[in-house]
């Protein structure tokens, strides 16, 4: 499960083989992951999470004793101790909890004097869970961000599986549950609850049946249309297929269940609950695991409408090859000025967690191939920083040519011992960290984890320039290093990412970390030296693998990227970073549109209002650097933008008048023109050139290849669920 923390960074929760619940945090700035950290608790099923009004998440799990437990994030970003949330009266918890945040924006939008909607005005969490007695029970926070909750209340009937809950655009909660015989039913609030009345009497509608033959728990999405918020359900049925069914008319306080259209079969059944995420333009994407144990997905080509309540699904299923998996989670992830997806999957026969990132969203008809980076091994769930391929804080530095030889120490008991290349045996002193420095060009130090000391030159007046451990000195350039990718001579520059690297010395970039195959006087083969990188000796080997088991540790290319950008941004004429385009597909208009500017609300009970909505649309380029999304490197973005005349101007300011009926919301949606380029980055530093494959998605000038920006003013009784263009 993935959620966002209060600071906006993604937090991933996963259950290990020992049922301990672990978390990792994704740091957007450098696209890196924290080590696995135990939450301090166990779980007997999947966790559930929701955000308080203060944007901090709370985590709910069922434990083996049938109790619910909760853990909340603190204001400082840390996490409080687990607390026992108890059980419903006279029973225990049997299913996976569902938790939602109440949203009273519709009934009390609290706009400011200009009509701008200020956001959620309630934010109390409400939790639903099936008890061992078969009833669906719920309770709600008495106040936003509070720790006091209402008493438990049971909804009528007995049920199988776990309930699903969702908040509609008018703030009312709808709950879906399945009977033992597969009949899917829903109940909805007649009005939203409040802090003053957290459990209003007779507030739930009678259960309404919307389908039969369902075999598992369902997922629900919300479509915001002019007529209001329409719910769309996804679930497996006993015919072996995945189905979706959508409201043709939204629920209202008078008719809480709404009206439901006929269902639509959209694919083969997927293990467990399907995973549904929403594009910024409102289209839905469904993820699951296919019969060949691959992550597979299907994207709407157009979201739900009056003529197509379930949306149009013109594009077929696509599989992400490369890893066999047993489960999948998906997350809407920031990609520069737009949003795509990160996918996480647990290996089929292991606890290894894998990540794969999607760069672009494609066009309306879904025919365009989406941009997926390679799978990244995030190591077994709950393992340490040295597990799997390792991390920047713990990796093996192994010679690419001298098989089995890794960076090591001559005498592990001596504090300032010589650096050697020895057979790798997984010893503690053969583990290293690449640590950042304050160097303006992003050079890193190589620190021995067991000693806490840095690789340094032994200050020989004459060569050979042997290396040794020394106290880390933040001002000493002899301890600093640049990482340079090395591709085979016949490599495909547009697709192949380097798996071996040269390690150039910051003090003298002509010299590299070098291992010798054999003794050659006055050189001792075992001792590692700093030798000219462009050596013509067959005895000198200066290419290395930075990771464990031959894999590259996640984050290494981020180091390379930052160093390249910093050095290319310098005034040194010998340094240049440029993108070489091998393919430039035609520009296209992004599907439907994202919200531009602010959402407005007409507070008048009986008078139309005219609002002007203004926004500045800044050009943006999402680019990849090998397997790294380089969204945070401004210099490379600038260099790329200067190379292509079809790119949109730096800033485009627009204003549109919106006619908003009384007690309705108004906003602007735009569908910008996008264009992709496929090729490679050509990096020249101090006269040395290397390449890394890249793929870019950029805003293009209006009219490029005949594609034009689409702008439309929208009004509705409920606020939009499409993402903001600058979110």
For 526-550, the pLDDT digits (tens) are 999 999 999 989 999 999 999 998 8
- For tokens 């583990």, the residue is 431
d(CA 559, CA 324): 29
Query: Whole-prediction pTM value?
Result: 0.89
Q: Is the dihedral of CA 672, 678, 679, 685 positive or negative?
A: positive
Return the structure tokens found at 685. Answer: 């530093």
Q: Residues of the chain with pLDDT > 90: what percent?
A: 57
- H/E stretch holding 166: strand 160-167
Model confidence at 355, pLDDT cuts 50, 70, 90, reads very high
- H/E stretch holding 306: none
Is 80 exceeded by the pLDDT of residue 226?
no
Model confidence at 238, pLDDT cuts 50, 70, 90, reads very high
Model confidence at 461, pLDDT cuts 50, 70, 90, reads low
d(CA 603, CA 662): 7
Q: Between residues 5 and 465, which one has the greater pLDDT?
A: 465
**Across the chain, what does the average pLDDT equal?**
88
Please answer whether residues 95 and 87 qualify as being in contact, where contact means their C-beta atoms are separated by less than 8 angstroms: no
Is 80 exceeded by the pLDDT of residue 108?
no
Going by C-alpha positions, the residue among 202, 204, 200, 224 that lies closest to residue 163 is: 204
pLDDT digits (tens, 9 = 90+) for 509-518: 999 999 999 9
Q: What angle do CA 549, 552, 557 make, to 5 degrees?
A: 170
Name residues whose C-beta falls within 8 Å of residue 405's C-beta, 6 or more positions apart in sequence: 398, 399, 421, 422, 423, 424, 515
Is 60 exceeded by the pLDDT of residue 119?
no
């Amino acid at each position: 499960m993935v959620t966002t923390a209060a600071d906006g960074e993604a937090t991933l929760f996963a259950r290990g083989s020992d049922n301990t619940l672990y978390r990792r945090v994704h740091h957007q700035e450098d696209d890196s992951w924290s080590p696995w950290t135990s939450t301090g608790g166990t779980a007997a099923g999947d966790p559930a999470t929701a955000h308080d009004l203060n944007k901090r998440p709370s985590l709910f799990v069922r434990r083996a004793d049938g109790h619910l437990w909760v853990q909340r994030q603190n204001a400082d970003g840390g996490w409080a101790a687990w607390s026992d949330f108890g059980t419903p009266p006279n029973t225990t918890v049997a299913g996976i909890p569902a938790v939602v945040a109440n949203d009273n924006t519709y009934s009390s939008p609290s706009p400011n004097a200009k009509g701008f909607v200020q956001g959620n005005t309630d934010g109390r969490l409400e939790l639903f869970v099936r008890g061992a007695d078969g009833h669906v029970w719920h309770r709600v926070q008495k106040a936003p961000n509070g720790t006091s909750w209402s008493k438990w209340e049971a909804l009528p009937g007995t049920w199988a599986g776990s309930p699903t809950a969702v908040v509609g655009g008018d703030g009312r909660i709808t709950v879906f549950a399945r009977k033992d015989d597969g009949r899917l039913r829903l109940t909805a609030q007649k009005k939203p609850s409040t802090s003053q009345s957290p459990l209003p009497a007779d507030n739930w509608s009678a259960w309404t049946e919307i389908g039969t033959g369902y075999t598992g728990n369902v997922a629900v999405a919300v479509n915001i249309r002019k007529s209001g918020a329409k719910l769309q359900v996804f679930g497996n049925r006993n015919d072996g297929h995945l189905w979706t069914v959508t409201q043709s008319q939204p629920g209202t306080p008078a008719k809480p269940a709404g009206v439901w259209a006929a269902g639509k079969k959209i694919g083969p059944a997927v293990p467990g609950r399907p995973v549904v995420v929403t594009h910024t333009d409102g289209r839905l994407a469904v993820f699951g695991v296919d019969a060949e144990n691959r992550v597979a997905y299907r994207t709407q080509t157009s979201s739900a409408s009056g003529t197509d309540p379930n949306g149009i699904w013109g594009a077929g299923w696509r599989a992400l090859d490369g890893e066999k998996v047993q489960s999948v989670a998906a997350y809407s992830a920031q990609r520069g000025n737009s949003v795509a997806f990160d996918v996480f999957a647990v290996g089929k026969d292991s606890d290894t967690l894998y990540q794969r990132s999607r760069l672009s969203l494609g066009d309306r008809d879904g025919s365009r191939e989406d941009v997926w980076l390679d799978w990244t091994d995030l190591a077994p769930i709950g393992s340490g920083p040295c597990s799997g391929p390792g991390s920047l804080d713990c990796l093996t530095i192994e010679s690419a040519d001298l098989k089995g030889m890794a960076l090591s120490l001559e005498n592990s008991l001596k504090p300032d011992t010589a650096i050697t290349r020895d057979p790798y045996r997984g010893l503690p002193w053969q583990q290293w960290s690449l640590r950042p420095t304050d160097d303006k060009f992003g050079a890193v130090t190589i620190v021995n984890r067991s000693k806490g000391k840095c690789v340094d030159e032994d200050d020989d007046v004459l060569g050979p320039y042997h290396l040794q451990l020394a106290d880390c000195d933040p001002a000493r350039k002899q301890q600093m290093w640049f990482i340079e990718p090395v591709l085979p001579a016949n490599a495909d520059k547009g697709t192949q990412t380097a798996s071996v690297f040269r390690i150039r010395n910051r003090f003298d970039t002509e010299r590299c970390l070098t291992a010798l195959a054999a003794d050659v006087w006055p050189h001792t083969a075992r001792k590692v030296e700093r030798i000219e990188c462009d050596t013509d000796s067959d005895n000198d080997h200066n290419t290395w693998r930075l990771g464990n088991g031959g894999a590259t540790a996640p984050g290494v290319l981020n180091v390379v990227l930052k160093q390249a950008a910093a050095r290319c941004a310098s005034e040194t004429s010998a340094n240049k970073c440029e993108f070489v385009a091998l393919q430039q597909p035609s520009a296209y208009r992004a599907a439907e549109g994202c919200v531009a500017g602010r959402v407005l609300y007409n507070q008048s009970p009986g008078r139309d209002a005219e609002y002007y909505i203004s926004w500045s649309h800044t050009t943006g380029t999402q680019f990849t650097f090998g397997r790294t999304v380089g969204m945070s490197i401004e210099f490379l973005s600038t260099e790329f933008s200067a190379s292509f005349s079809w790119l949109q101007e730096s800033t485009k300011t627009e204003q549109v008048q919106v006619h908003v009926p009384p007690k309705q919301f108004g906003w602007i949606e735009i569908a910008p023109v996008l264009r992709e380029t496929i090729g490679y980055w050509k990096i020249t530093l101090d006269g040395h050139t290397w390449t890394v494959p890249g793929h870019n998605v950029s805003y293009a000038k209006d009219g490029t290849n005949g594609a034009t920006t689409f702008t439309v003013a929208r009004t509705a009784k409920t606020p939009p669920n499409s993402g903001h263009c600058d979110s």
